[in-house]
């Protein structure tokens, strides 16, 4: 096995893990609504998850290792990436906030201010800011 194959395999496993984490978050209430299912379908394509892998992950998302971000800046980076995907998926409409709220809580943001965090994140993503600007603005939003 070449080094590039090793990195490709590791990257693929990480993408499966991230997709499985999304499945866990969306299935936390015991069901997927049609918009969440459409979102997962599109996300699977973006993450290059095959149909077989998709079905396997839906059947057992706990099989894949979950590595939640520990550092605050890593949580912000994950929030940025998820917010961009959620915002880009315009068919979600008003459910963008609901969906992103679920992810923000799963990332470890406080439920007491998650609405403020989600609104700020979506506003910044709508302005198409880069990761550095997003991180700075989120870290300094209370000043």
Q: pLDDT grade, residue 47 (50/70/90)?
A: confident
pLDDT value at 136 more than 60: yes
For 51-75, write each residue's pLDDT tens digit.
Answer: 999 999 988 887 876 667 789 998 9
115: its two tokens: 């609405």
In 3D, which of 30, 13, 121, 19 has the Cα closest to residue 61? 19
Is the pTM higher than 0.75? The answer reads no
| Reported confidence tier of residue 140, pLDDT bands at 50, 70, 90 | very high
Query: Are the C-beta atoms of 82 and 101 separated by less than 8 Å?
Result: no
- Report which of 44, 42, 108 is spatially closest to residue 78, judged by C-alpha positions: 108
Closest by CA to 99, choosing from 42, 15, 47, is 42
Record the tokens describing residue 140, joined without a space: 């300094």
CA–CA distance, 64 with 139 (Å, rounded to integer): 31
The answer to whether residue 131 scores a pLDDT higher than 50 is yes
Residue 118: pLDDT above 90?
Answer: yes
Number of residues in the chain? 143
* pLDDT tens-place string over residues 63-112: 876 667 789 998 999 899 888 888 876 666 777 888 888 889 888 898 99
């Amino acid at each position: 096995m070449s080094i590039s194959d090793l990195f490709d395999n590791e990257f693929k496993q990480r993408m499966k893990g991230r997709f499985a984490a999304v499945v866990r978050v969306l299935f936390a209430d015991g069901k997927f609504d049609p918009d969440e299912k459409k979102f997962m379908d599109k996300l699977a394509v973006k993450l290059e998850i095959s149909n077989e892998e998709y079905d396997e992950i839906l059947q057992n998302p706990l099989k894949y290792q979950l590595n939640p971000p520990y550092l605050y800046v890593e949580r912000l980076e994950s929030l940025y990436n998820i917010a961009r995907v959620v915002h880009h998926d315009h068919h979600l409409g008003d459910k963008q906030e609901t969906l992103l709220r679920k992810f923000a809580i799963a990332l470890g943001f406080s439920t007491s201010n998650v609405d403020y965090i989600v609104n700020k994140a979506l506003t910044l993503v709508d302005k198409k800011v880069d990761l550095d600007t997003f991180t700075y603005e989120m870290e300094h939003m209370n000043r």
